[in-house]
A and B are shown apart, each in its own frame.
Chain A
Amino acid sequence: MATKTPLQDPMIDPRTGEYAVIAPGHNFKSVTQKIAGIVLTSNTPLGWFGGLTVAGGVATLLLVALTWLFLKGVGIWGVTIPGAWGFAIINFVWWIGIGHAGTLISAILLLFKQTWRNSINRFAEAMTIFAVVCAGLFPLIHVGRPWVSYWLFPYPNTMNVWPQFRSPLAWDVFAVSTYATISVVFWYVGMIPDFGTLRDRATMPLAKYFYGLLSLGWRGSTRHWIRYETASLLLAGLSTPLVLSVHTVISFDFAVAAMAGWHTTIFPPYFVAGAVYSGFAMVLTLAIPIRKFYHLEDLITLRHLDNMAKVMLATGSIVGYGYCMEVFMSWYSASHWEFFMMWNRMFGPMGWAYWVLILTNLAIPLTTLWSRKLRVNVLYLFILSFIVNTGMWFERFVIVVTSLYRDYLPSSWGTYRATKWDYMTFVGTWGLFTFLFLLFVRFLPMIPMSEIRMMLPQTKVRPPGGSDAETVIEETV
């Protein structure tokens, strides 16, 4: 860890003073063995089974909550008038925000040739997909009549009725479904070379068949690689605008409405920054235990953690600027509605939520992340990742609840109190997310072998005695 001086630590590049992206001493074989070994081992760690059981148990809560929900209706939740949106929308925005880090890592950092991303992009993308699964659940179940929620999709029908395209919720449908589709395709395409490797290394017939099917006949020929790289770049190009657009569209759910506290132009950039912020926090939440459990400290190094913390510092600062501007504009606008909303948000009956948000999202991270020492302190980052995601959840809580419960007509003021079913649904999605993620780390290569191999010193030097397929990559990139 950071206790060693830079010169003593073999992980630190003596020329730059930076932590290495890959620990020295790795070669193609060792990388492949290490990553493929996790998937192909017949000795599944007991801890994995334990984790899966716990996650599955928590996910069962979701099943129970949804069953009751479909039987009774959304009235089992705390939503009411005036606060007709509650946990479901908060969780939706929170989960979809978390997904953004994966897309940012896999797309934008690819275009910017940030090679350090290679170690973490696979499971960040997986995180995106599972987060979108959890997020996508909420718009479907939060409607009063979930059995007709497909009416939000534009499909030809005998009634000749289309969605109402002026509604931001209709835009959401396109934003989220596009996002989910591109993310899944990008994720899958990225895994094809690795599936080929797994197919070749698998010994069990079932695994061989399974990975063979998934590898789509990958043989590692130059032509394959060229197409693979082209497809990756194209998908990265498609995903890049999505990083910005998806949360922008989701922020429109609020910004387009007339409620004070929602009706503000700062939402799109501040939502996007907040999404990336929370997404990187979630990557840390996942990466830190996994690298420990599977001894991947040599592939997910302190360099990665440091870089992610830097991204959080940058995006967190944008979010913080957003908060300041919200407060400033509510005063500067001289609008009574804005002024009252902000006063009520800070000092009203639910003012505590605002201060929790400021503490966890702003005060703690933005004062500490400037320190390099803390940025490479694994335990601190792990704790901080939870703090930030708590803060980001409260940010959505503050936006959704405190803008609604005391709005224009004082006669209809009310309050919002979540029920046990709200909590069960929310906690259940954590279970679902973790359950899916555990399946992922067990059955799919969580670190892209092909991309890691590209970063090894080996690729720079042609090994004596023949050309290895992988060495061609250097030219094609």
Chain B
Amino acid sequence: MDAQYKLENADVILSLDADFLGGIAQPGFLPLAAAYAARHRYEEGQTMNRMYAVETMPTVTGFKAEHRLALKPSDLAAFASALAAGGAGSGSAEAQGFAAAVLKDLKAAGGKCVVIPGEQAPASVHAAAYALNAAMGAVGKTVVYTETVNPLPSEQVADLKSLVGDMNAGKVQWLVMMGVNPLYSAPVDLEFAAAMAKVPTTVHLGTHVDETGSLSTWHINKAHYLESWSDARAYDGTISIIQPMIAPMYGGHSAHEVLQTLLDNPEASAYDVVVANAKTYIKGDFATSWRKALHDGWVEGTAFAPSSASPKSGAAPAAAAASSGGIEICFKPDPSLYDGRYANVGWLQELPKQVTNLSWDNAALMSLATAEALGVEQSDAVEIKVNGRTISAGTLVVPGHADGAVTVHLGLGRRVEAGRVGGGVGFNAYYLRTADAPYAAGGTVTRTGDIYDLCVTKVNFIEHRGSFAQQDLNDKEFDKDGTYSLPGHEAMERAIIRYATLEEVKAHPDFAHEGGPGALVNKVGYGPEGDTPGHAESMFPDAWSYDHQDVSAQQLQNKWGMAIDLNSCVGCNACIVSCYAENNIPVIGREQVKIGRNMQWIRIDTYFEGDLHAPRAHFQPMACQHCENAGCEQVCPVGATVHTPEGLNMMVYNRCVGTRYCSNNCVYKVRRFNFLLYSDYDTESLKFMRNPDVTVRSRGVMEKCSYCVQRIEAVKIEADKENRAIRDGEIVTACQQACPTSAITFGNVNDPNSAVSKVKAKERDYQVLADLNFRPRTTYTAGVINPNPELA
């Protein structure tokens, strides 16, 4: 039985360790994120939703929540159970107050509320969520139960255990492993490797000769899913037909073909199998419906119908209890690499992980208080011991992590067999994970005395109260014991992040602008700097005039601009990855990232506001702002970065000599430099990967976001051919396309009816670092949060 959540109907959301905005760990997260963001917008005639999150490891979901409670796994399970029982439980005063407020708010929502349990949360939490949803009358409104997408639901761990038992008993003659890597990811106490050695013939089907493949009798080269016909079911049951995008590059075989061979039908191709299967679920005229399904990408009407099934009762095992006095070790899939299957993808290894900004590493993630209790500091090497097994890891302090627990991310520490990118990166947390305690286990963490220098793209500079900020901090509600993040504090002081509560924004719609009557100057401390200086205040002539009509073409002059809604941005990193793919951004490796040379054209700036024990985090996508008064353009000695008549700030790669002056003078620090020859020109397979419309940059040149100029030009050419103006929405930048929450809008600012103009016309629209008068073309819509007054 699966739960389908309808967040579009939910006024109040409670996440019990569910990271449904961050993605990867939560099936079906994309529609959830989109629906959440749609309801989180502050718009006329819409009730803004409110989210509560209870979690161990801080996630983007937790930080998007208005209220967040950090609990270690055992406390979290107890909290959920107590909540389901209608009481506040026996937790800390903070947890009890939180529980009381949440319960009250959930009840007040009248069924328009939902409780979402995390995929990695223990069964008791799922049971509690089920009970709460039922009690609050949410079933049918915001949550719908359907049959599960798994055709043969079973206790998978128990199945695996019995398989290993059979293997050890010599009952298994043939073991066929398809697309799995049990030698890497199976619970360590099952000793899968030893069991596999007792099987006479093992067959592994995989895209790589990985840990399992290298020890199997036979390894079959698997075709990538984009190289073969196949079909799949989405989380809601909808069937998709997978079409190959390319012939198998390395002569791989799909699972369909292998299975057909095993069924003594080696002649059957994957296509035959998929079509034969499709005939069972495609209704009506097959030829027409098949073509339609291929065109649409899914088969209509195949989603599950709501069922009235109820979960098995009494089966919920108790959550793994923490050993007394120890630390709870929490296992989470890596936010970028998931369970390790994507470990050989350079983009994902290099992608700064959500919240932590770790790149090319995993770490022992813990709170400030836990680190202090353990006597460790950032980058100290620690030894994590669970059930007699130990691994060594670097320490990373994560603001807002639950005390008394340490989170480790699975998916790294792959052996060299993983490939030339993923092998040997980080440590393998699976080594601590047993079949009985797959998500959390009691253990000990001790300092080894060594230093493990972690690769973090943005350092949080956790600083104790310094003399500089003393006077400001005394006025603030945060900084309970003198610990704050200097960058986070500065981001607020500098009005880089602007947000207000729902009540404040109603009273002062213009809160995001200094000087206005309702400006919340004191709240976020905008500082003495003014807003953008008006043009009349400048001695210089306006360098660019975009507002004229292009008489020859009888068209509106294009004036490209972007608006980013900070309310919608959930910090999921999808924009970064799509930018990698679109713009041929090189992967530069751990050592280069560590010293600050990461090449991403767009990044998610994460700021921690307030006391680092319970901070509020803000996410801000930051790419080239395409300033009208661009500092970079003025200082380039060879004119390699110039302005187009449409207002794009362009890099001319083959004119760049690489003085890097432009980067120094960029106040947003969005320019990226090829300090070495980062692009791989030689690897054959990478040539397929590259976007032919975008230059592959060589050593010694600067690069940066171009607003996807290749896409703009492509659309312009099409429009010219059809002798028409460019339609609004026709140009979609890569980041915009990938954004699950539609936080990014792009278009012609000269057109008052364009989507981007409408967003920019909002009162909450503001420029980052406006007082410097660079006049950025990208503007941000200030965030609005909807806190519960009882918890404020």
A residues lining the B interface (CB < 8 Å) = 72-76, 78-85, 142-145, 148-149, 151-152, 161-164, 166-170, 172-173, 253, 256-259, 334-337, 340, 343, 347, 404, 407-415, 417
- Specify the chain A residue showing the minimal Cβ separation from B652: A161
A440 to B448, CA, bound (A): 58
Stretch with Cβ within 8 A of A (4 or more), from B85-93, B485-493, B514-522: B485-493
Q: How far is the CB of B90 from chain A (nearest CB, A)?
A: 40
List of A residues within 8 angstroms of B496 by Cβ: 409-410
* CB–CB A145/B458 < 8 A: no
List of B residues within 8 angstroms of A253 by Cβ: 661
Please list the 3 inter-chain residue pairs (A to B) with the smallest Cβ-Cβ separation, ordered nearest first: A144-B658, A144-B700, A75-B675
Q: What are 13 pairs between A and B in contact, CB < 8 Å?
A: A72-B676, A80-B596, A81-B663, A143-B657, A144-B658, A144-B660, A145-B699, A166-B634, A172-B637, A257-B635, A336-B493, A336-B528, A343-B468
Most buried by A among B607, B637, B701: B637
List of A residues within 8 angstroms of B490 by Cβ: 340, 410
Among B573-616, those with CB < 8 Å from A are 592, 595-597, 603, 605-607
Q: How far is the CB of B587 from chain A (nearest CB, A)?
A: 15
Q: Which of B466, B638, B699 contacts A151 (CB 8 A)?
A: B638
List of A residues within 8 angstroms of B487 by Cβ: 410-411, 413
Supplied contacts A144-B699, A258-B774, 13 more A-B pairs, CB within 8 Å: A73-B676, A76-B676, A80-B596, A81-B597, A82-B664, A143-B657, A149-B657, A335-B529, A337-B529, A340-B490, A409-B605, A409-B768, A409-B769
Among B619-644, those with CB < 8 Å from A are 620, 622, 631, 634-639
Q: How far is the CB of A345 from chain B (nearest CB, A)?
A: 12
Q: How far is the CB of B214 from chain A (nearest CB, A)?
A: 34
List of A residues within 8 angstroms of B605 by Cβ: 409, 411-412
List of B residues within 8 angstroms of A84 by Cβ: 660-661, 663-664, 673
* CB–CB A408/B667 < 8 A: yes
* CB–CB B639/A163 < 8 A: yes
Q: Which of B458, B493, B661, B674 contacts A169 (CB 8 A)?
A: B661
* CB–CB B634/A414 < 8 A: no
Q: How far is the CB of A159 from chain B (nearest CB, A)?
A: 9
* CB–CB B665/A257 < 8 A: yes
User: Do A409 and B701 form a contact, CB below 8 Å, given A163-B637, A167-B635, A258-B631?
Assistant: no
A149 to B660, CA, bound (A): 13
Among B484-511, those with CB < 8 Å from A are 486-488, 490-491, 493-494, 496
User: Do A167 and B636 form a contact, CB below 8 Å, given A80-B675, A144-B700, A409-B622?
Assistant: yes
List of A residues within 8 angstroms of B527 by Cβ: 336
Main SS of the interface on chain A? Answer: loop
A2 to B6, CA, bound (A): 93
A408 to B664, CA, bound (A): 11
List of A residues within 8 angstroms of B660 by Cβ: 79, 84-85, 144
* CB–CB B667/A407 < 8 A: yes
List of A residues within 8 angstroms of B768 by Cβ: 409
- Specify the chain A residue showing the minimal Cβ separation from B670: A412
List of B residues within 8 angstroms of A168 by Cβ: 635
Main SS of the interface on chain B? Answer: loop
Q: Does B391 contact A (CB under 8 A)?
A: no
A368 to B306, CA, bound (A): 89
* CB–CB B675/A79 < 8 A: yes
Q: Which of A82, A149, A256, A337 contacts B635 (CB 8 A)?
A: A256
List of B residues within 8 angstroms of A142 by Cβ: 659
Count chain B residues whose beta carbon lies closer than 8 angstroms to a beta carbon of A.
Answer: 62
* CB–CB B607/A410 < 8 A: yes
* CB–CB A414/B459 < 8 A: yes
- Specify the chain B residue showing the minimal Cβ separation from A78: B595
List of B residues within 8 angstroms of A151 by Cβ: 638, 655, 657
* CB–CB A335/B661 < 8 A: no
* CB–CB A163/B658 < 8 A: no
* CB–CB B631/A257 < 8 A: yes
List of B residues within 8 angstroms of A166 by Cβ: 634-635
User: Do A336 and B494 form a contact, CB below 8 Å, given A74-B675, A161-B639, A413-B459?
Assistant: yes
* CB–CB B665/A258 < 8 A: yes
User: Do A257 and B637 form a contact, CB below 8 Å, given A151-B655, A336-B493, A409-B496?
Assistant: no
A257 to B638, CA, bound (A): 16
A343 to B463, CA, bound (A): 14
A259 to B632, CA, bound (A): 12
List of A residues within 8 angstroms of B699 by Cβ: 73, 144-145
List of B residues within 8 angstroms of A85 by Cβ: 660-661, 664
* CB–CB A340/B468 < 8 A: yes
User: Do A163 and B596 form a contact, CB below 8 Å, given A334-B528, A414-B459?
Assistant: no
List of A residues within 8 angstroms of B595 by Cβ: 78, 80, 417
List of B residues within 8 angstroms of A417 by Cβ: 595
* CB–CB B661/A347 < 8 A: no
User: Do A80 and B597 form a contact, CB below 8 Å, given A151-B655, A164-B636, A408-B772?
Assistant: yes
List of A residues within 8 angstroms of B639 by Cβ: 161-164
Q: How far is the CB of B598 from chain A (nearest CB, A)?
A: 8
Q: Does B467 contact A (CB under 8 A)?
A: yes
- Specify the chain B residue showing the minimal Cβ separation from A254: B664
Q: Does B656 contact A (CB under 8 A)?
A: yes
The 0/1 profile, CB within 8 Å of A marked 1, for residues 65-103 of chain B is 000000000000000000000000000000000000000
Q: How far is the CB of B221 from chain A (nearest CB, A)?
A: 36
A81 to B598, CA, bound (A): 8
A404 to B669, CA, bound (A): 10
List of A residues within 8 angstroms of B620 by Cβ: 411
List of A residues within 8 angstroms of B668 by Cβ: 408-409, 412
A84 to B150, CA, bound (A): 53
Q: How far is the CB of B459 from chain A (nearest CB, A)?
A: 7
The 0/1 profile, CB within 8 Å of A marked 1, for residues 519-545 of chain B is 000000001110000000000000000
The 0/1 profile, CB within 8 Å of A marked 1, for residues 448-484 of chain B is 0000000000110100001110000000000000000
Q: Does B672 contact A (CB under 8 A)?
A: yes
* CB–CB B663/A152 < 8 A: no
A110 to B635, CA, bound (A): 37
A74 to B468, CA, bound (A): 36
Q: Does B671 contact A (CB under 8 A)?
A: yes
User: Do A145 and B656 form a contact, CB below 8 Å, given A81-B597, A258-B665, A407-B667?
Assistant: yes
* CB–CB A347/B528 < 8 A: no
List of A residues within 8 angstroms of B658 by Cβ: 74, 143-145
Q: How far is the CB of A211 from chain B (nearest CB, A)?
A: 41
List of B residues within 8 angstroms of A73 by Cβ: 674-677, 699-700
List of B residues within 8 angstroms of A404 by Cβ: 664
Q: Which of A259, A347, A410 contacts B488 (CB 8 A)?
A: A410
- Specify the chain B residue showing the minimal Cβ separation from A170: B637
Q: How far is the CB of A393 from chain B (nearest CB, A)?
A: 20
A79 to B700, CA, bound (A): 12
A271 to B69, CA, bound (A): 55
* CB–CB B655/A161 < 8 A: yes
Q: Which of A152, A336, A337, A409 contacts B637 (CB 8 A)?
A: A152
* CB–CB B467/A347 < 8 A: yes
List of A residues within 8 angstroms of B494 by Cβ: 336, 408, 410
- Specify the chain A residue showing the minimal Cβ separation from B672: A81
User: Do A169 and B676 form a contact, CB below 8 Å, given A259-B665, A409-B496?
Assistant: no
List of B residues within 8 angstroms of A79 by Cβ: 660, 675
* CB–CB A144/B701 < 8 A: yes
Q: How far is the CB of B630 from chain A (nearest CB, A)?
A: 10
List of A residues within 8 angstroms of B468 by Cβ: 340, 343, 347
List of B residues within 8 angstroms of A257 by Cβ: 631, 635, 661, 664-665
* CB–CB A347/B466 < 8 A: yes
Q: Which of B488, B529, B635 contacts A336 (CB 8 A)?
A: B529
List of B residues within 8 angstroms of A162 by Cβ: 639
List of A residues within 8 angstroms of B669 by Cβ: 81-82, 407-409, 412
Most buried by B among A168, A258, A337, A411: A411
Most buried by B among A75, A337, A340, A414: A75
* CB–CB B528/A411 < 8 A: no
